[in-house]
Amino acid sequence: MAKFSTIKQHLYSKIASGEWPEHHPVSSENALAQQFKVSRMTARRALQELADEGLVIRSKGSGTYVAPIKSQTSFMAIRNIADEVRSRNHDYRAHVHVLRKEAATAHVAELLQLDAGKPVYHSVITHFENDLPVQVEERYVNPELVKGYLSQNYEEITPHEYLCEVSPLTEASHEIEAITPSPQLCQWLKLSKPEPCLRINRRTWSAAGVVTFAVLTHPGSRFSLGGHLHFGSARA
């Protein structure tokens, strides 16, 4: 591992563990250079990249400090639909429509970074809030990275919860769009006639590669996404 990367890891752990809370001063470039026996420029690179990622804030003349927590994750903190429903003190229930092994289509294979035709796990689940469908979750899973996916009871534990247990995710990408639901989706969502739906396409990675790809569809009338951002770090 590169030296600057070693230093980044060290600082990551201090911040992630909570040992250094918000606004706590971070070791200066010179201090890190001494501690890790590298040049100031190398220590600087570690701090600079952390600043670019929004984890720390740097101020000329003053120093480097742990960034206030809210800055990035709140919006798209990976949501667990079950927790969300329960946090509103509503009943949560799930119904599994599909749970099986399939051969990957070209499209699915590309998204999971596998070869077409290789087996993938496929699930379709409707999530209910007080017996009203609020999300249809269609998911494809990389079977090489998640062995026991098919043998879980997804009316007890959500796929998201299981996947988080099995392989800690390191990265996620999202795309949000507004769509008209297909007849099949209307049925699963118990919509008597099509209404605009919010669709979230989410891909998540672990260190080993793409773990899963999910298409989450919410009826527009029953769902909205919220988020809050703080600025102040401002490295334009």
Residues forming contacts to DNA in the complex (CB under 7 A) are: 2-5, 26, 28-31, 37-42, 44-45, 47-48, 51, 58-64
For residue 171, the partner it binds in DNA, a second copy, none, with Cβ less than 5 to 8 A by kind, is: a second copy
| 65-to-20, 85, 123, 158, 170 alpha-carbon distances in Å | 9, 36, 44, 37, 23
The one-letter code for the residue type at 68 is: P
Integer distance in angstroms from the first to the last C-alpha of the chain?
Answer: 29
Residue located via tokens 């996947």: 163
37 sits near a second copy (criterion: CB under 8 A)? no
Instruction: List residues bridging with 197 in a β-sheet.
Output: 179, 219
For residue 234, the partner it binds in a second copy, DNA, none, with Cβ less than 5 to 8 A by kind, is: a second copy
C-beta of 26: minimal distance to DNA in Å?
7
Is 152 or 206 the residue whose CB approaches a second copy more closely?
A: 206
Q: How far apart are CA 9 and CA 31, in angstroms?
A: 16
Question: Could you say which of 6, 72, 80, 187 contacts a second copy (CB under 8 A)?
Answer: 72
Q: How many CB atoms lie within 10 A of CB 222?
A: 16
12 sits near a second copy (criterion: CB under 8 A)? yes
15 sits near a second copy (criterion: CB under 8 A)? yes
Report the sign of the C-alpha dihedral through residues 99, 103, 108, 112, in that order. positive
Q: Which stretch binds a second copy (CB under 8 A): 116-124, 130-138, 152-160, 227-235?
A: 227-235
Query: How many chain residues touch a second copy (CB under 8 A)?
Result: 46
Residue located via tokens 């534990």: 157
For residue 209, the partner it binds in a second copy, DNA, none, with Cβ less than 5 to 8 A by kind, is: none
**What part of residues 171-200 is at the interface with a second copy (CB under 8 A)?**
171-180, 195-199
Dihedral Cα 47, 53, 59, 60, nearest 10 deg: 60
Task: Work out the widest C-alpha separation in the chain, in whole angstroms.
Answer: 68
Question: In the complex, which residues of this chain contact a second copy (CB under 8 A)?
Answer: 12, 15-16, 52-53, 55, 69, 72-73, 75-78, 169-180, 195-199, 218, 220, 223-236
